[in-house]
Amino acid sequence: MSQRNTGVTSQVVNAEACPVKEVLDRVTGKWSVQIIVAAAHGPIRFTELERGVEGISRRMLTLTLRNLERDGLVTRTVHPTVPPKVEYELTEPARELHCTLLSLTEWAERNRVYIAESRASYDDEHRPELVDV
Amino acid sequence: MSQRNTGVTSQVVNAEACPVKEVLDRVTGKWSVQIIVAAAHGPIRFTELERGVEGISRRMLTLTLRNLERDGLVTRTVHPTVPPKVEYELTEPARELHCTLLSLTEWAERNRVYIAESRASYDDEHRPELVDV
DNA sequence: CGGAATCCTTGTAGATACTG
DNA sequence: CAGTATCTACAAGGATTCCG
């Protein structure tokens, strides 16, 4: 990778400094965001998350939670009861992230129709297999 | 399933009712956001993007741009000059999205250190091979 | 210059079964 | 209940090459 700015104003991020990418790497995961949303309402149990996210596998739930925990976005509290009980809760930074994500959601709602229409017309113009065999 | 994998989710993946997921499906792509950021400053050429995003392959740039174009987030303008010149520009909705993404960036910057420290301590506590010597 | 087609290596995720 | 472990797949993404 050429680190040199080849004349062009590389407005963009010098690799190391790009926080966007860092966030995205964290949000990119198919499930992270949905878990954050699901856990936004307060402490939630493993099984509740499993049902709440709906579609996630037990494995991915575990893995994603581990990553979120590692990044300090959720806390994991084990209650030493006889039937084990583990609760996950968002940390403060994660709650702030959640708020930010809400504006993303808002944007999505506002532009959902626009995007759908754009796709429709695009797909119409670029008919994939208009040439039948 | 289709015959071959042409890369990237070319086909809409059963977007559920959840707008969060719709957004994420669009943002999830490793590159979409970075391209939007890079193009936020005005019309930009293919090659400029290629250098600006830094790390992206030609293939992924093409594919991601196609998807963005399909969703009506960027416009593609071909100038019929002798050395071909194609410019990409964000549409209004994409510019709004960009603003939203800025708060994500902001969050990332504010919490970068926190996350890094969280990771460090997590990795420290969960030492992989703490086996007795 | 901008892009399409091809090939190949991974990461991400699903299903399943087993444990404390 | 709350995980782990393993095996497998498919699709994302990289590298390369060819073409208008």
Sequential DSSP letters for B52-102: HH-S--HHHHHHHHHHHHHTTSEEEEEE--SS-EEEEEE-HHHHHHHHHHH
Tokens of A83: 């039937």
Other Cβ atoms within 10 Å of A38 Cβ, number: 20
Tens-place pLDDT, residues A25-81: 777 778 898 999 999 999 999 999 999 988 899 999 999 999 999 999 999 999 999
Q: Is position A132 within any domain?
A: no
Which of B47, B63, B100 would you mutate first to test chain A, the one with the most A CBs within 10 A? B100
Chain B residue numbers touching A1 (CB-CB < 8 A): 54-55
Tokens of B75: 């416009």
Q: How far apart are CA A48 and CA B42, in angstroms?
A: 46
The dihedrals phi and psi of B81, each to the nearest 5 degrees, come to: -90, 175
Q: Is the pLDDT of residue A124 over 80?
A: yes
What is the average pLDDT across A74-98? 96
What is the average pLDDT across B35-41? 94
Q: Give me the residue label for tokens 């919490």.
A: B111
Q: Is position A58 within any domain?
A: yes
Q: Is position A133 within any domain?
A: no
Residue A82 DSSP one-character state: S
Which of A11, A111, A125, A127 would you mutate first to test chain B, the one with the most B CBs within 10 A? A111
Percentage, residues of chain B above pLDDT 70:
81
Q: How far apart are CA A131 and CA A15, in angstroms?
A: 44
pLDDT value of position B118: 94
Q: Is position B131 within any domain?
A: no
Cβ atoms of B34 and A21 closer than 8 Å: yes
How many helices (H) does chain B have, and how many strands (E)?
A: 5, 3
Cross-chain CB nearest to B100 (options A23, A104, A119): A104
How many domains, chain A? Answer: 1
Residue B106 DSSP one-character state: H
- The CA–CA distances, whole Å, from A12 to B11, B34, B36 equal 29, 8, 11
The answer to whether B7 CB is within 7 Å of strand C is yes
Orientation of helix A92-125 relative to helix A32-39, angle to 10°: 130
* Inter-chain CB pairs, A–B, below 8 Å: 139
Q: Is position B132 within any domain?
A: no
Whole-number average pLDDT of chain B: 82
The answer to whether B65 CB is within 7 Å of strand C is yes
Q: Is position B133 within any domain?
A: no
What is the average pLDDT across A116-130? 81
Chain B residue numbers touching A36 (CB-CB < 8 A): none
Give me the domain span that covers residue B98. 3-126
As a rounded value in angstroms, the CA-to-C1' distance for A71 and D7 is: 29
Nearest residue to A97 via CA among B104, B20, B25: B104
As a rounded value in angstroms, the CA-to-C1' distance for B99 and D16 is: 37
CB contact under 8 A, B23 and A105: yes
Cβ atoms of B63 and B31 closer than 8 Å: no
Q: How confident is the model at residue A133 (pLDDT cuts 50, 70, 90)?
A: very low
Residues 6+ positions from A35 with CB-CB distance below 8 Å: A49, A53, A56, A61, A64, A65, A68, A74
Q: Is position B25 within any domain?
A: yes
- The CA–CA distances, whole Å, from A109 to A62, A66, A115 equal 30, 30, 10
Q: Is position B87 within any domain?
A: yes
Three-state DSSP class for residue A47:
helix
pLDDT greater at residue A127 or residue A111: A111
Q: How far apart are CA A89 and CA A43, in angstroms?
A: 4
Protein-contacted bases of chain D (C-beta within 7 A): 1-6, 10-17, 20
CATH number of the domain residue B46 falls in: 1.10.10.10
